[in-house]
A = this chain, B = another copy of it.
Amino acid sequence: MSKKLNVGVIGLGRLGSLYARYFQGRISNASLVAVSDILENVAESFAKEHDVPKWYQHHEDLIADQEVDAVVIVTPTSLHKDVSIAAANAGKAIFCEKPLSISIEESLAIKAAVERTGIFYHLGFMRRFDKGYASAKNKIDDGQIGAPIVFKSSSRDPFRPSLEYLDPKHSGGLLTDCGIHDIDLARWLMGEVSSIYSIGGVLAYPEMKEIGDVDNAIATLTFESGALGVIDLSRSGIYGYDIRTEILGTKGTLQIGYLRETPVMVLTKDGVTHDTVPYFMERFGQSYVDQLQNFVDHLLQGKPPSITCDDGIAALRISLAATKSLHEKRPVSLAA
């Protein structure tokens, strides 16, 4: 492999086109050499506007390109399996956006391909690269709060995505699509989960009933260590994008997240006011960059990937159990 990593980005949607741009100036030791998108002309237009040397409509062609060292997969989740296995078979290193896939079966198929081919596979869970979460992880490992005993995490979107996007058939539903991040954090910071119980409701957008999903949910978790956890999720955090986590330990507690974008406050007779974080790029933009840099660095330096297939499978098992609990109105065990 060259000293510099030649990257091809597969899927030029909102996040994919951003990742492609990141590789053009913000990620060290990597070059964007190709892009692909199944929609006609999308890859070509993007490449011409942004000076990308090569473009393809079909991911198979990009994967076949000998110049490409690593692929960054940002397609719809339902395509992750086919694209990942094809790339693994071609010996390409893989960065794949979360979630791993839409089912445990497909996830295990990806895992098998990664193990068989021995390629480098990094699953995208960018929150682990956020300064706040990374600092919390260090402080926990450092013993600053003693043994962690309670995990609390909140994820709120500032508005409802399209019903098409939200449809549980594609997204997996609120507890998977939105909750997978909190579940990954729960495992990363606290250890494995042994059971889960969820409640939820259509409380803000009546039209959610059409697609058979809830818009707000709360799930309690018990960890194998005996520790307790709770995750609350909302599609109606109308005041801003609000991601907060707390870990209570025997010696103290850690709180991650602050709900402020601009460093200015207005004080009038009506009180003190500051703005909130509009949406995810304003909160986590740098985390996406840092994660891609970590992918490049670990790959070039021969280090193992920071986040693996197994992390993706474990998180997915939990989010599916949470969804099952929601529907069956009873606690669900995760014991093997």
Binding site for B on A (CB under 8 A): 21, 24-26, 130-133, 135-136, 139, 144-147, 149-150, 152, 156, 197, 199-204, 216-218, 220, 222, 226-230, 232, 234, 236-240, 242, 248, 250-276, 329-331
A interface, over-half SS: mixed
Alpha-carbon distance between A321 and B145 when the two chains are bound, in angstroms: 32
- Pick the 4 closest A-B CB pairs, nearest first: A25-B25, A252-B268, A132-B263, A149-B203
CB atoms of B260 and A238 under 8 A apart: no
Q: Which residues of B contact A239 (CB under 8 A)?
A: 252-253, 267-269, 271-272
**Shortest distance from the beta carbon of A199 to any chain B beta carbon, whole Å:** 5
CB atoms of A238 and B269 under 8 A apart: yes
A-B contact pairs, 21 of them (CB 8 A): A132-B263, A144-B266, A147-B203, A149-B216, A197-B197, A199-B228, A200-B228, A201-B227, A203-B226, A203-B227, A237-B253, A238-B250, A238-B252, A239-B269, A252-B266, A255-B264, A256-B265, A257-B263, A258-B260, A258-B263, A330-B331
Q: Assuming the A-B contacts A204-B250, A237-B248, are A256 and B267 also in contact, with contact meaning beta carbons closer than 8 angstroms in the complex? A: no
Copies assembled: 4
Q: Assuming the A-B contacts A201-B227, A228-B203, are A255 and B275 also in contact, with contact meaning beta carbons closer than 8 angstroms in the complex? A: no
Q: Which residues of B contact A269 (CB under 8 A)?
A: 238-240, 251-252
**Shortest distance from the beta carbon of A167 to any chain B beta carbon, whole Å:** 22
Q: Which residues of B contact A238 (CB under 8 A)?
A: 146, 250-252, 268-269
Q: Which residues of B contact A329 (CB under 8 A)?
A: 331
Q: Which residues of B contact A145 (CB under 8 A)?
A: 266, 268
Besides the contacts A26-B26, A255-B264, what 14 more A-B pairs have beta carbons closer than 8 Å? A144-B266, A150-B216, A197-B197, A203-B226, A216-B248, A230-B230, A236-B250, A237-B253, A239-B268, A239-B271, A239-B272, A260-B272, A270-B273, A272-B273
Q: Which residues of B contact A144 (CB under 8 A)?
A: 266, 268
Q: Assuming the A-B contacts A250-B238, A269-B238, A273-B273, are A228 and B216 also in contact, with contact meaning beta carbons closer than 8 angstroms in the complex? A: yes
Instruction: Please tell me which one of the listed residues B139, B199, B218 contacts residue A266 in the complex, with CB atoms under 8 A apart.
Output: B139
Alpha-carbon distance between A274 and B136 when the two chains are bound, in angstroms: 11
**Shortest distance from the beta carbon of A127 to any chain B beta carbon, whole Å:** 11
Alpha-carbon distance between A252 and B237 when the two chains are bound, in angstroms: 7
A135, A203, A227 pick with most chain B CB within 10 angstroms: A203
CB atoms of A201 and B216 under 8 A apart: no
CB atoms of B256 and A264 under 8 A apart: yes
Instruction: Please tell me which one of the listed residues B25, B146, B230, B331 contacts residue A218 in the complex, with CB atoms under 8 A apart.
Output: B230
A25, A130, A201, A252 pick with most chain B CB within 10 angstroms: A252
Q: Assuming the A-B contacts A220-B197, A237-B248, A268-B144, are A132 and B232 also in contact, with contact meaning beta carbons closer than 8 angstroms in the complex? A: no
Q: Which residues of B contact A200 (CB under 8 A)?
A: 228
Nearest chain B residue, comparing its CB with the CB of A258: B263
Instruction: Please tell me which one of the listed residues B25, B152, B201, B242 contacts residue A228 in the complex, with CB atoms under 8 A apart.
Output: B201
Q: Which residues of B contact A330 (CB under 8 A)?
A: 330-331
Alpha-carbon distance between A139 and B260 when the two chains are bound, in angstroms: 17
CB atoms of A272 and B266 under 8 A apart: no
Alpha-carbon distance between A237 and B269 when the two chains are bound, in angstroms: 9
Instruction: Please tell me which one of the listed residues B226, B263, B276 contacts residue A201 in the complex, with CB atoms under 8 A apart.
Output: B226
